Amino acid sequence: MFSNKEEFKSMFLQKLEMMYGKTFNDSTKRDQYHTLGNMVREYISSNWISTNESNRAENNKQVYYLSIEFLLGRLLGQNLLNLGIREVVEEGLNELGIELRQIEEAESDAGLGNGGLGRLAACFLDSLASLNLPGHGLGIRYKHGLFDQKIVDGYQVELPEQWLRHGNVWEVRKPDQAVEVSFWGKVEFLQKENHYVFRHVDAEVITAVPYDMPVIGYKTKTVNTLRLWNAEPSPHYHSYDVLKYKRETEAVSEFLYPDDTHDEGKILRLKQQYFLVSSSLQSIVNSYRKRNGSLADFHKRVAIHVNDTHPVLAIPELMRILLDEEGMGWDEAWEITTQTISYTNHTTLSEALEKWPVHIFKPLLPRIYLIVEEINERFCRELWEKYPGDWQRIEHMAIIAHDVVKMAHLAIVGSHSVNGVAKIHSEILKQREMKLYFEVFPQKFNNKTNGITHRRWLLKANPELTSLVSEVIGIEWIKKPEQLIELKRQAYDPSLKEKFSVIKKHRKEILAQKVFEQSGIKIDGDSIFDVQVKRLHAYKRQLLNVLHIMYLYNRLKEDSTFTIHPRTFIFGAKASPGYYYAKKIIKLINSVADKVNQDPQISKVLKVVFVENYRVSLAELIFPATDVSEQISTASKEASGTGNMKFMMNGALTIGTLDGANIEIMEAIGIENMFTFGLKADEVLNYYENGGYNSTEYYHHDGRIRTVVNQLTNGFFPETADEFEPIADSLIVQNDQYFVLRDFASYVESQEHVNRAYLDQTKWIEKAIINIAHSGYFSSDRTIQEYADQIWGIEPIGVKI
Ligand SMILES: *Cc1c(COP(=O)(O)O)cnc(C)c1O
């Protein structure tokens, strides 16, 4: 390929002319992007082949990470960085008079996920490849990723996302490896000697065509694979209504469901889940059979991980293959299946727990349903032996009960490992949500605290801070992020602090520029950038943040002696299109923004910005520019959070509740380097169990609360009085399920600490550096190493070139 910038330049120009039949001067940014993308793909193709050949030759254990979401973002910049050719390319392009950044912006985000769960899957792929681990992703090639968000008159408007409109340079279609997935129809069984043989007949068959994307490790030769499945009509299936069949087939991989931590219960979603699982299992088994023949030792060479319950049908699907295709007996098939599958739980929110009505499940997946029924019967029989007569417990624990299939129950029973995503979350699973299962299977339960890839969230997003860190502690931390801890000794060095401060300011100016382009709002780089970016959800409590801003507005208006350091509150969040309340909160944020920004006095010290269309590429601009990270969920509700880690790694200080991974962040950095407030998880859970919370008491006894809650409906905003009534009702009439008013005073006080602390810049920056120093533990490299050692039992590969 190319080994210096001169070679790069000439190859780039040649390739551009070959691909587009035009000269460089006539080319568009998109032409240049596609040219560069294709060059990178060619650059890695031999390593990609070698990785696959190595895996075949070594016949080593492989892990397959099944996830209904992969929130990848843009790939060009990251791939160049991981290949170690970013600088050569950047310099070469500069000599041609173009900025790499501009070319990168021609790439659409691969937004095949909603939020944390999907982004976790993407970070894990990067860590697997960078640690030379044989691990691959399997997902769906949605034609439309998460919707594009526009804000019109303060309201969210959703537009279909179109990431494939101009093609996808990273994918390779593999039609020869297509498989068929069956729905509907019925099951026939015949007795053969001493057992039954099952056949799924009269099924509607669709074709799953794999599109493979390379996953490039950081400065290694490993190139793993992300396989995304596309749903297409099968040439072998004869339908009476061809158009209807085509339409319904293509619908399976058309849209990502835009619900975050919420179960939709729609038949198309179940179809998507089985489509992912069946095509993935067939493909894994096909490749295993080529290497090993019989499936008797399948679990010794294959680990399959299910990211939340969405791919949990992998359990009955693997059973189906072992029983019906391989002809195994139940017990042997069950042993192999449970030893192969492991499961991560992502939430304890009851509205997120997947339950499929039998009347939907059974007709759509008749053979799979029979297997789930058999799993359930055998499990209930075991429970009966362990707890004779305790029918109530068995009813609670059953996989199928009251005509619904409980996916989390199937996941626990059919896997060998069940993990939560932060210590507190894993404890809540064991002691509360999954207590009855913990009693039966204590050895299955474990914790794997989430992480983020520092290669995207520090190296790529914040090259200036990356260089500074390397200047101070050398470059070894890049391969071993825990070595960031060495920064701690330098936290008090004035020259480091000065340089950090210059970088932070620079990054704030970059974000300010972006905000101005997007919204026309001018924000001040000397103000505190206070940021809450994450999905919009009641439990994440964007409302608490907004009510605090309203309180600041009121206080500044009425009390001329009240002064604060200027603050810019930045929000970014998509609301699920059907989540009425979340959309109301977006409107409220925008109404408060108008009120604050249009007030000539107040806007000198306060600004409020809602950034449109929050997604990975925007996130990369936001984290490096942040001073204050808002992690203010109702304690016990946020399983882990990963945004908290990205902020910390970029030297923002956290204001947060003791929830999810905030607790482990606090334990790492020390409570003096964070602003904590509010109810603890056990206090919240205690209120839920025993009652005793009355939100109206807080309304009546705290004038600040009374004022801001009244302002929602008393004409303070130009909107009609009923615009925000649902929000006021949630707080007062519905007794404030998420304890916003309960935590209000504590939050205000904590925000006062933030304001005071920021005034002492020296100490503030020391705290920021201590945050960065401890962020290495929250690299997904640590997380993935734990999964590899403790759950999957996989070893690094030696890629031979
Ligand atoms: C990290 C990330 C999330 C998750 O944020 P949380 O604060 O943990 O909910 C969501 N969306 C995007 C684009 C992210 O990068």
Residue 592 C-alpha to ligand 1 middle, in angstroms? 24
Are both 503 and 390 inside the same structural domain? no
Per-residue model confidence as pLDDT tens digits over 572-601:
999 999 999 999 999 999 999 999 999 999
Residue 620 lies in a domain: yes
Please say whether the beta carbons of 797 and 55 come within 8 A.
Answer: yes
Round to whole Å and give the CA distance between 493 and 743. 37
Nearest ligand 1 atom to the CA of 640 is 8
**Residue that is last in its domain, among 421, 444, 467:** 444
Catalytic residue numbers read 346, 534-535, 540, 642, 646
Which residue lies with its CA nearest to atom 15 of ligand 1?
A: 616
- Which tokens hold the place of 294? 């019989």
Residue 190 lies in a domain: yes
- Residue 186's alpha-carbon distances to 327, 369, 521, in angstroms, are 20, 11, 60
Are both 641 and 776 inside the same structural domain? yes
Round to whole Å and give the CA distance between 127 and 109. 20
Per cent of the chain over pLDDT 90 is: 97
Query: How many domains is the chain built from?
Result: 2
Which residue lies with its CA nearest to atom 6 of ligand 1?
A: 643
DSSP string across 100-147: HHHHHTTSPPEEES-SHHHHHHHHHHHHHHHTT--EEEEEE--SB-SP
Are both 365 and 472 inside the same structural domain? no
Per cent of the chain over pLDDT 70 is: 100
Which residue lies with its CA nearest to atom 11 of ligand 1?
A: 115
- Ligand 1 neighbours, Cβ below 6 Å, are 115-116, 119, 534-535, 615-616, 619, 641-643, 646
- pLDDT(398) > 70: yes
Residue 619 C-alpha to ligand 1 middle, in angstroms? 8
Residue 294 lies in a domain: yes
Q: What per-residue confidence (pLDDT) applies to 2?
A: 86
Are both 436 and 478 inside the same structural domain? no
Round to whole Å and give the CA distance between 381 and 406. 17
Kindly report the backbone phi and psi dihedral angles of residue 231, in degrees, each rounded to the nearest multiple of 5, phi listed first: -90, 125
Q: Do the strands 186-192 and 195-201 form a parallel or antiparallel pair, or are they unpaired?
A: antiparallel
Are both 387 and 481 inside the same structural domain? no
Are both 548 and 412 inside the same structural domain? no
Q: What per-residue confidence (pLDDT) applies to 261?
A: 85
Helices 463-473, 494-519: inter-axial angle, 10-degree rounding: 170
Q: What per-residue confidence (pLDDT) applies to 799?
A: 58
Residue 794 lies in a domain: no
Domain assignment of residue 656, given as a range: 454-682+701-709+738-784
Q: How confident is the model at residue 181 (pLDDT cuts 50, 70, 90)?
A: very high
Burial class (CB in 10 A: 0-12, 13-18, 19+), 388: exposed
Which residues are CB-contacts of 201 (< 8 A; sequence separation ≥ 6)? Answer: 185, 186, 187, 188
Per-residue model confidence as pLDDT tens digits over 504-514:
999 999 999 99
Residue among 642, 650, 664, 780 whose CB has most ligand 1 atoms within 8 A, to mutate = 642
**Residue that is last in its domain, among 444, 474, 492:** 444
Which residue lies with its CA nearest to atom 10 of ligand 1?
A: 115
Q: How confident is the model at residue 193 (pLDDT cuts 50, 70, 90)?
A: confident
Are both 308 and 217 inside the same structural domain? yes
Which residue lies with its CA nearest to atom 7 of ligand 1?
A: 643
Residue in the structure block whose two tokens are 């190493």: 785
Round to whole Å and give the CA distance between 553 and 566. 12
Residue 33 lies in a domain: no
Residue 357 lies in a domain: yes
Residue among 114, 534, 541, 649 whose CB has most ligand 1 atoms within 8 A, to mutate = 534
Kindly report the backbone phi and psi dihedral angles of residue 203, in degrees, each rounded to the nearest multiple of 5, phi listed first: -80, 155
Residue 761 lies in a domain: yes
Are both 436 and 460 inside the same structural domain? no
Q: 732 or 193: which carries more pLDDT confidence?
A: 732
Q: What per-residue confidence (pLDDT) applies to 486?
A: 98
Residue 788 C-alpha to ligand 1 middle, in angstroms? 24
**Residue that is last in its domain, among 423, 444, 465:** 444
Closest CA to 399 of 389, 411, 388: 411
Q: What per-residue confidence (pLDDT) applies to 383?
A: 98
Q: What per-residue confidence (pLDDT) applies to 801?
A: 46
For position 181, which CATH number holds?
3.40.50.2000
Residue 192 lies in a domain: yes
Residue 117 C-alpha to ligand 1 middle, in angstroms? 8
Q: Mean pLDDT in the chain?
A: 97
Are both 428 and 482 inside the same structural domain? no
Are both 435 and 459 inside the same structural domain? no
Are both 285 and 371 inside the same structural domain? yes
Q: What per-residue confidence (pLDDT) applies to 234?
A: 98
Q: What per-residue confidence (pLDDT) applies to 3?
A: 87
Per-residue model confidence as pLDDT tens digits over 618-630:
999 999 999 999 9
Per-residue model confidence as pLDDT tens digits over 738-752:
999 999 999 999 999
Are both 318 and 381 inside the same structural domain? yes
Kindly report the backbone phi and psi dihedral angles of residue 198, in degrees, each rounded to the nearest multiple of 5, phi listed first: -105, 140
Round to whole Å and give the CA distance between 306 and 259. 18
